[in-house]
Amino acid sequence: MLLQEVPGCQTCVRYGHDILSHPLMVELIQTRFVPLAIYNNHPGPDAEILHRFGEPSWNNPVSYVLKTDGTPLIARHADRYDPVSFHDHLTAALRAAGQPVPQYFELLRGDLLIEAGLALSVTYNTPCFWSGETSLAQAPGVIATLAGWIGGKKSCG
């Protein structure tokens, strides 16, 4: 359930553009969840839902993942408006529900870290770049590897 101002302040617009428009986020939400948008600036049923969850009107985006009985499955997601934190929120929801996280979605996190400038790039010189790449790719936290030449020099025969 997304509580959002409509038509939207700049934060709401960026949230929609940067997070809710990413095709892989959309695919996961549409296939694993039942999306529900609640306007935080409308009277009637939307205002009643805001009141039920103790949310103020005219607030920045807030999302909840609810169980079928309407209670929160995990803590609400608020005050973080970046793709990595929303990805982590959806991943936590799937795990809390005992559902598998699709491999494409697990891999997406690495791409999001790179796009956000939060991943480091390191160059290693190994005796043979093919075996070095294979070994490094298995290390925890490695997002991607790329075998190549360092300074134009071949490192194995």
CA 148 to chain centre: 31
- Kindly list the domain boundaries of the chain, sorted by start residue: 2-115, 120-157
In the block, which residue shows the tokens 């075998």? 147
What pLDDT is stored for residue 44 in this prediction? 93
Half-sphere exposure of 109 (CA within 13 A, CB side): 16
Banded model confidence at residue 123, pLDDT cuts 50, 70, 90: confident
Among candidate residues 78, 79, 73, the one with its CA nearest the CA of residue 91: 73
Average pLDDT over every residue of 124-134? 75
pLDDT given at position 55: 92
pLDDT tens-digit readout, 134-153:
788 888 878 777 777 777 66
**pTM across the whole model:** 0.77
Query: What distance in Å separates the CA atoms of residue 41 and residue 50, rounded to the nearest whole number?
Result: 10
Cite the DSSP H helix spans in the chain: 10-18, 23-32, 45-52, 83-96, 103-115, 129-137
Query: Per-residue pLDDT tens for 29-81?
Result: 999 999 998 988 888 999 999 999 999 888 889 999 999 999 999 999 999 88
How does the average pLDDT of the chain come out, rounded? 87
Q: Is the dihedral of CA 110, 156, 135, 123 positive or negative?
A: negative
Structural contact between residues 97 and 109, judged by C-beta atoms closer than 8 angstroms: no
- Please name the fold of domain 2-115: Glutaredoxin (3.40.30)
Residue 129 has pLDDT above 80, yes or no: no
